């Protein structure tokens, strides 16, 4: 567990500096205190499973545990993700912080940021993980600065709250009441929240009983286990895994409504909306996810016959089921290359009223392009699930078990009040 040679220590120190320089150069690390913490904490000693280079790879997690199916369930997260979330949490000396999901390394970074007058508690559902974290924190001298607890974080850790910040380092579908109750007024909750198959790390601030997002960044995480764990709903379009629709929230009530849907004629509509090759689609994806109730993804097995399906990316296509029409139509998005080298979005739809549903989806893409593209993105607020619909802000809502997510999409108007022309800038 300790560095074996001075050469190892020197090499690790150089790799840490390189890692920080790379993240800084790529624009992912801007905060001086987070940089200093990442230079101070010996990351490789929290990832003894990896060689020195792998331990310092800026964009890679070090997987530390798999489940019985070989799926990763615990890791030391990628430095880029940790830097991003620590910056989102705006930690200050003296802060009391709860980390959900333990590995040891990130808790040590937090300890550096909050200093000797702050406090750090890290909680994990898995005793293998907490045992490992405790041992590594001890070997690196952080054990007296980090309290390690083994528990299902969905139930909260009330004895140590309230916290100035809670940083969730596992993919969550919802925000359980314990997290809000344990957060001080004005405290920050940074959480990778899954919203109809889109995961974004939200930096939420507590304002009474609501949480208001100040920042959103795309990311991916191993899914949460325990009482607030959640499994996705799958609809097998051909009865096997060759073509699968996947949903997180508000899955179609009757999956059998789509039985035989691929036997109907395919309708194709092109939107006239094109994105540049390097332009991020996250804004469009979040807009469709928040405004189309039956939004999910389509995956198609590239080794099997696609039949009438023609996705541009078999591994991932944005898709939706027409929940308003009884769930008998579905559509997915695809792209084609324009003469300018951009990617125009189109829609393929199936089902008895495929033409109307294809138009609905295409029109949502055009609305995003006309009114929101290049804009500041939505204001996201999380309210208690009991909030009456009439009191909900925003044009779009996603209802979870504990919270309702509300999205207010401002128009992307420029300073003169004009909607900017459809350049490929923004995001």
| Among positions 101, 118, 192, 296, the unique one binding ligand SAM when judged by CB under 6 A | 101
| Among positions 19, 74, 88, 213, the unique one binding ligand SAM when judged by CB under 6 A | 74
Does residue number 106 form part of the binding site for ligand SAM (CB under 6 A)? yes
Q: CA-to-CA distance for 40 and 425, rounded, in angstroms?
A: 37
Does residue number 105 form part of the binding site for ligand SAM (CB under 6 A)? yes
Does residue number 225 form part of the binding site for ligand SAM (CB under 6 A)? yes
| Among positions 224, 275, 284, 354, the unique one binding ligand SAM when judged by CB under 6 A | 224
CB-wise, 67 or 254, nearer to ligand SAM? 67
| Among positions 115, 177, 226, 307, the unique one binding ligand SAM when judged by CB under 6 A | 226
Which range in 100-108, 177-185, 255-263, 276-284 contacts ligand SAM by CB under 6 A? 100-108
Sheet holding 243-247, edge to edge: 233-236, 243-247, 295-300, 317-321, 330-337, 343-350, 267-275
Q: Which two tokens stand for residue 191?
A: 């959480």
Does residue number 77 form part of the binding site for ligand SAM (CB under 6 A)? yes
158: left (phi over 0), alpha (psi -120 to 50) or beta: alpha
Does residue number 60 form part of the binding site for ligand SAM (CB under 6 A)? no
| Among positions 169, 182, 199, 201, the unique one binding ligand SAM when judged by CB under 6 A | 169
Q: How many Cα atoms are found within 13 Å in the side-chain-facing hemisphere of 166?
A: 33
CB-wise, 213 or 225, nearer to ligand SAM? 225
Which range in 67-75, 242-250, 263-271, 292-300 contacts ligand SAM by CB under 6 A? 67-75
CB-wise, 163 or 407, nearer to ligand SAM? 163
By beta carbon distance, the residue nearest ligand SAM is 103
Shortest Å, Cβ 217 to ligand SAM: 16
Any idea what the Cα angle at residue 293 is, between residues 178 and 369, rounded to 5°?
A: 110
Tokens 């579905």, residue located: 330
Q: How would DSSP label each residue in 85-146? A: HHHHHT--TT-EEEEES--SHHHHHHHHHH-TTSEEEEEES-HHHHHHHHHHHHHTT-TTTE
Shortest Å, Cβ 289 to ligand SAM: 23
Does residue number 157 form part of the binding site for ligand SAM (CB under 6 A)? no
DSSP code of residue 420:
P
| Among positions 87, 112, 124, 174, the unique one binding ligand SAM when judged by CB under 6 A | 124
Q: CA-to-CA distance for 368 and 353, rounded, in angstroms?
A: 23
H/E element holding 317? strand 317-321
Q: Which long-range contacts (CB under 8 A, 24 or more apart) does 395-401 make?
A: 395/291, 396/290, 396/291, 398/195, 398/196, 398/249, 398/250, 398/290, 399/249, 399/250, 400/173, 400/174, 400/175, 400/249, 401/174, 401/228
Shortest Å, Cβ 294 to ligand SAM: 27
Does residue number 142 form part of the binding site for ligand SAM (CB under 6 A)? no
Q: From 326, 299, 295, select the one nearest 398 (Cα to Cα).
A: 295
Shortest Å, Cβ 244 to ligand SAM: 24
CB-wise, 226 or 393, nearer to ligand SAM? 226
CB-wise, 99 or 164, nearer to ligand SAM? 99
The count of chain residues that interact with ligand SAM, using the rule CB under 6 A, is 28
Does residue number 50 form part of the binding site for ligand SAM (CB under 6 A)? no
Which range in 69-77, 260-268, 269-277, 322-330 contacts ligand SAM by CB under 6 A? 69-77
- For the annotated catalytic residues, the residue numbers are 77
Does residue number 153 form part of the binding site for ligand SAM (CB under 6 A)? yes
Q: Which two tokens stand for residue 8?
A: 């190892």
DSSP code of residue 223:
B
Cis upstream peptide for 371 (omega within 30°): no
Residue 267 DSSP SS3: strand
Shortest Å, Cβ 222 to ligand SAM: 5
Q: Is the dihedral of CA 390, 392, 396, 402 positive or negative?
A: negative
CB-wise, 120 or 258, nearer to ligand SAM? 120
Please answer whether residues 315 and 302 qualify as being in contact, where contact means their C-beta atoms are separated by less than 8 angstroms: yes
Shortest Å, Cβ 267 to ligand SAM: 42
Binding residues for ligand SAM, rule: CB under 6 A, are 73-77, 99-106, 123-126, 129, 152-154, 169-170, 221-222, 224-226
């Amino acid at each position: 567990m300790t560095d074996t040679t001075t050469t190892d220590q020197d090499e690790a120190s150089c790799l840490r500096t390189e890692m920080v320089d790379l993240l800084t150069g790529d624009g992912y690390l801007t905060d001086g205190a987070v940089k200093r913490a990442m230079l101070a904490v010996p990351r490789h000693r929290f990832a003894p499973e990896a060689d020195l280079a792998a331990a310092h790879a800026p964009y890679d997690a070090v997987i530390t545990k798999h489940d019985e199916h070989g799926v990763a369930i615990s890791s030391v997260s990628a430095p880029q993700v940790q830097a991003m979330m620590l910056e989102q949490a705006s930690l200050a000396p003296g802060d009391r912080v709860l980390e959900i999901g333990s590995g040891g390394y990130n808790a040590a970074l937090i300890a550096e940021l909050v200093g000797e007058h702050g406090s750090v508690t890290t909680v994990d559902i898995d005793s293998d993980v907490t045992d490992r974290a405790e041992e590594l924190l001890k070997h690196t001298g952080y054990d007296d600065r980090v309290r390690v607890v083994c528990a299902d974080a969905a139930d909260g850790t009330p004895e140590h709250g309230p916290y100035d910040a809670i940083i969730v380092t596992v993919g969550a579908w919802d925000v359980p009441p314990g997290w809000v109750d344990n957060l001080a007024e004005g405290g920050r909750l940074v959480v990778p929240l899954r919203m109809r198959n889109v995961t974004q790390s939200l930096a939420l601030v507590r304002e009474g009983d609501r949480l208001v997002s100040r920042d959103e960044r795309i990311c991916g995480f191993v899914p949460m286990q325990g009482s607030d764990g959640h499994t996705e709903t799958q609809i097998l379009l051909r009865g096997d895994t060759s073509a699968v629709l996947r949903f997180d929230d508000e899955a179609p009530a009757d999956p059998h409504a789509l039985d035989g849907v691929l036997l109907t004629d395919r309708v194709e509509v092109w939107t006239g909306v094109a994105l540049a090759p390097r332009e991020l689609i996250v804004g469009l994806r979040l807009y469709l996810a928040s405004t189309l109730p039956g939004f999910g993804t389509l995956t198609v097995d590239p080794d099997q016959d696609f039949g009438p399906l023609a996705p541009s990316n078999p591994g991932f296509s944005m898709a939706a089921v027409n929940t308003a029409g009884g769930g008998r139509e579905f559509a997915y998005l695809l792209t084609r290359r324009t003469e300018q080298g951009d990617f125009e979005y189109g829609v393929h739809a199936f089902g008895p009223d495929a033409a109307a549903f294809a138009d609905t989806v295409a029109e949502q893409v055009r609305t995003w392009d006309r009114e929101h593209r290049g804009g500041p993105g939505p204001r996201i607020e999380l309210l208690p699930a009991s909030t009456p619909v009439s009191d909900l802000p925003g044009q779009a809502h996603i209802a979870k078990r504990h919270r309702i997510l509300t999205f207010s999409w401002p128009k992307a108007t420029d300073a003169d009040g004009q909607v900017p022309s459809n350049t490929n800038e923004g995001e």
